Structure 1
Amino acid sequence: MCTGKCSRFIGVLLFPLGICAIIANLLLYFPNAQILQVEQITDFVWFFNGIIGAGLLAFLPAFMMLGAGGEGCCANRCGMLLSVVLSALGAAGGVYCVIISAMGLIHGPLCDTGSGNYEYPFRNSTEEENYLFNPEIWNTCREPENIVLWNVVLFSILLGIGAIQAVLCLIQVINGLFGFLCGTCMRKRKTGVA
């Protein structure tokens, strides 16, 4: 596969991943399909890791990859070089999404434990009593209903999407460097011998 085709392929893959990340991040604002007050939403949702990190920062290199994979002057070396820079930015966005999602998973959701006040009941848990490995204590959170499962699933999806995007963008950095140094696909020219 030539560098141009590889670039287009990665660019096409980043679009649905970015859309899924944005949707997953938006769903975190509405736990169990409920509208909550701003102060009742888990704090790691407000870092916009799916909207900005795995969303917008993935769309920028994706657009450039699609353009760099096409025909252009100098076998589109300039486009490939720009795709390297934007892919590095996309990889940073993917890593940002992974870090924030992991932190959201580790610290757990903000919920009402029955006292009427919203708090983080799992924030100070040790590794042995971590809520992620003890689903039987998830019912500690009374409101919103199923908030723990909601957060675990969506933050896990965001973590996976961010990791995939970071890997794809790093592959494009290498691919783009080859495309810049060697050019995109070199078509064989027909030599007419009479």
Structure 2
Amino acid sequence: MCTGKCSLCIGRTLYPLALISVICNIMLFFPDWNVKYAIKNQITEEVKLMGGLVGGGVLVLIPAVHIYMTGERGWCANRIGMFLSIILAVVGVAGALYSFSVAVLGLYHGPYCKDILDNWSTPFNIPNFNYLVHSDFWGFCTEPKNVVKFNVGLFSILLVVNSLQIILCAIQMINGLFGCLCGTCRDINNTRPNNVTFTTTVHVA
């Protein structure tokens, strides 16, 4: 596979991953599918950092657009475009790492919820206690309903999505380096079909 086609494949794959990351982050603002918790600021602190929206979303989507364009025949499908894709892929890795780190913290600290004592807190943020393997304690959060499953599910999806984004952007960094050295195989000067032949006719007076 030439470097241009590889960029095309990576760009196309990053699009839905960025979209999933944004959707997961937006959903986390509405536990129990209710807007009142966002209005009252009764949501998990890590959600407010908007890792999935900014990091895994915007900071990955911008590189994805350019990476895709380096795979198309056009002004980006050249060595300069490939060099820029390396820089933007680094931005994508940074954004995905940010979202990944926020998701890890969100899972580690647990959700912000009302406990059985009617206090709003982060009840599972206790040293040397892993609530993820003690699901019997999840009922300690009484509101929002099923908030522990809700947060664990969405933050886990973000971890998988961000991991794929990091891998793909890292591959593009390598692919972009080869593109700088060898070209994209799809530059604008290589658009003439191979099966076209040209003939000339000489008219003698």
- TM-score by length of structure 2 reads 0.87
Matched residues in 1 for 2:61 and 2:76: separation?
A: 25
Check the 8 A contact 1:113/1:141 in 2, yes or no.
yes
Cα 1:75–1:61 shift into 2, 3 Å: closer
Could you tell me which residue of structure 1 aligns to residue 134 of structure 2?
134
Runs of 4+ residues over 6 Å off in structure 1: 186-190
2:25 counterpart of 1:25: yes
Out of 115, 128, 146, the position equivalent to 1:113 is 115
Letter of the 1:18 counterpart: A
Percent identity of paired positions between Structure 1 and Structure 2? 44
Note closer, same or farther for the CA distance 1:73–1:24 as it changes in structure 2 (3 Å cut). closer
* Structure 2 residues not aligned, in runs of 5+: 198-205
Q: Partners of 1:125 and 1:181 in 2: how far apart?
A: 51
What is the alpha-carbon distance in structure 2 between the residues aligned to residue 51 and residue 146 of structure 1?
Answer: 23
The one-letter code sitting in structure 2 at the alignment partner of 1:157 is I
- Deviation readout 1:105-124 (Å, 9 max, x if unpaired): 00000000123321010111
- 8 Å contact kept, 1:101–1:155: yes
CA deviation string 1:13-53 (max 9, x = no partner): 00101111101000100012122144311000011111010
Equivalent residues of 1:70, 1:76 under 8 A apart:
no
- Counterpart amino acid of 2:46? F
Q: CA distance change for structure 1 residues 181 and 140 in 2, over 3 Å: closer, same or farther?
A: same
Aligned to 1:8: 8
2:76/2:82 contact within 8 Å kept: no
- Give the total of aligned pairs: 191
Structure 2 distance, partners of 1:74, 1:120, is 48
Flag the 1:166–1:7 CA change in 2: closer, same or farther, 3 A: same
What does residue 166 of structure 2 align with? 166
Q: Would the aligned equivalents of 1:65 and 1:83 in 2 still touch at CA under 8 Å?
A: yes
Determine which structure has more spread, i.e. the larger CA radius of gyration.
2
- Give the alignment's TM-score, normalised by structure 1: 0.92
Output aligned runs, 1:77-156, within 5 Å. Answer: 77-126=79-128, 129-156=129-156
Inter-partner Cα distance in structure 1 for 2:147 and 2:97: 25
- Distance in 1 between residues matched to 2:158 and 2:98, nearest whole Å: 11
Question: Given residue 153 of structure 2, which amino acid in structure 1 is its aligned partner?
Answer: V
User: What is the aligned-residue RMSD (CA, Å)?
Assistant: 2.1
**Structure (1/2) with the larger helix percentage:** 1
How far apart, CA to CA, are the structure 2 residues paired with 1:63 and 1:74? 11
CA distance in 2, matches of 1:60, 1:105: 27
